[in-house]
Amino acid sequence: MTIHDRESTPPVATSKGSRRRFLSGAAVAAAATVAAPAIVKAQGPVHMRWQSTWPSKDIFHEFAQDFARKVNDMTGGDLAIEVLPAGAVVPAFGLLDAVSQGTLDGGHGVMVYHYGKQTALALWGSGPGFAMDANTLLAWHKYGGGKELLEKLYASIGANVVSFPYGPMPTQPLGWFKKPVAKVEDLQGLKFRTVGISIDVFTALGAAVNALPGGEIVSALDRGLLDAAEFNNASSDRVLGFPDVSKICMLQSYHQNAEQFEVLFNKGKYDALPDKIKAIIANAAEAASQDMQWKAIDRYSKDYGELQSKDGVKFYKTPEAILKRQLEVYDEVVKKKAGENPLFKEILQSQIAFAQRATRWEQDTVVNRRLAFDHYFGANAAASKL
């Protein structure tokens, strides 16, 4: 039928009864149409106030904002997360309590910052990871039983939170020093900053350890309260001012070889969200996890170069003797803690079982890229001839 035909077709006659039924149905539909927007409008978007454990200028706070932006965009504004920097509401190390108690609706940090609450929390990032990198550790968390163990762990300390570990970090430097560290004995007596199980490891290596949040480290170095310190990466360390107080950075270490970030929600606030929003949050965490890795590769590599070319920093590789001693000391530390804490032992055994399988596959399968790097960018510099 053409448009002309439809327009010229006479209306179909209806009985009074069918007309009354039609008008009644239309009234119901109209009422539903009016009521539905009213309900949405009455509820309105859910606003959440969060805090990160990072200074506002740190790239880590940017990562926190990136996660919030993804959630806000994916929910179409139905969930609006505002992220404040460390100290805006509570100190960085007070995040878990603040979220659990509902002072904050959520937050962004790392689990090693809760080490004082339950030492087993540091197993999500503080240590050698049993040869796993941070991405493999996250694979254990999602598919190897880590998620269930973390829920059990938080329940054991009465933490009213829902946790989403995400964002695997590259291996962190040994730290910033006044002079290069050549042997284990060079750590003896140093006033050193670190966190998590690394506190116990560096203490056993002879250092006098002080756990400080990121925003306080450089001022402590400047005032002589610390002799040396580690934080995380080239971008964070540069913007926080490490090259202003030290020109020596030792790269590669096992003390925080496999760390990741954590997104925390107050459990009551999270449970009240619609299932659709919860699904978006879970998927946003995974999307942000990958995006964070890409951004980190881009920014860290640029800042690594500029720390040398513009800030005069000299980088040294941590001697193998120190790396080996770190592993030996770590084994002693976790063995002791496993003997004191059954949940610590349970998590440790779960990680070891997963790591033995996953890292064997990785070592056998993934080619060592050092040969390719030397070929293209080493002495022969094949890349310059292409």
Our CA dihedral for 86, 91, 92, 94, rounded to 10 degrees, sits at: -140
Give the whole-angstrom CA distance, residue 281 versus residue 311: 40
Sequence ranges of the binding site for substrate? 172, 193, 230, 256
Annotated binding site, which residues? 172, 193, 230-231, 256
Question: Tens of pLDDT along the chain (386 residues)?
Answer: 333 333 333 333 444 444 444 344 444 444 444 444 433 334 669 999 999 999 999 999 999 999 999 999 999 999 999 999 999 999 999 999 999 999 999 999 999 999 999 999 999 999 999 999 999 999 999 999 999 999 999 999 999 999 999 999 999 999 999 999 999 999 999 999 999 999 999 999 999 999 999 999 999 999 999 999 999 999 999 999 999 999 999 999 999 999 999 999 999 999 999 999 999 999 999 999 999 999 999 999 999 999 999 999 999 999 999 999 999 999 999 999 999 999 999 999 999 999 999 999 999 999 999 999 999 998 888 777 78
What's the rounded Cα separation, in Å, for the pair 201 and 337?
Answer: 12
What pLDDT is stored for residue 381 in this prediction?
Answer: 80
Rounded (10°) CA dihedral 251, 253, 255, 257: 100
Residue burial 34-49, b: 16+ Cβ < 10 Å; e: rest: eeeeeeeeeeeebebb
- Exposed, middle or buried by CB within 10 Å (0-12, 13-18, 19+), for 77? exposed
| Phi–psi pair at 199, nearest 5 degrees | -60, -50
**Phi, psi (5° rounding) for residue 334?**
-70, -30
Compute the chain's Rg from CA coordinates.
Answer: 27
Which pLDDT score, from 0 to 100, does residue 43 have? 62
In-domain check, residue 194 = no
Sign of CA dihedral 357, 369, 303, 190: positive
Provide the whole-model pTM: 0.86
What integer pLDDT is reported at residue 17 of this predicted model? 46
Q: Which two tokens stand for residue 122?
A: 């540091």
Total structural domains within the chain:
1
CATH number for the domain including 109?
3.40.190.170
Residue 382 lies in a domain: no
The answer to whether residue 32 sits within a structural domain is no
Is 89 domain-assigned? yes
Q: Which residues contact 354 (CB under 8 A, 6 or more apart)?
A: 132, 139, 140, 144, 145
Binding residues for Na(+): 231
> Whole domain around residue 145: which residue ranges?
46-174+254-362
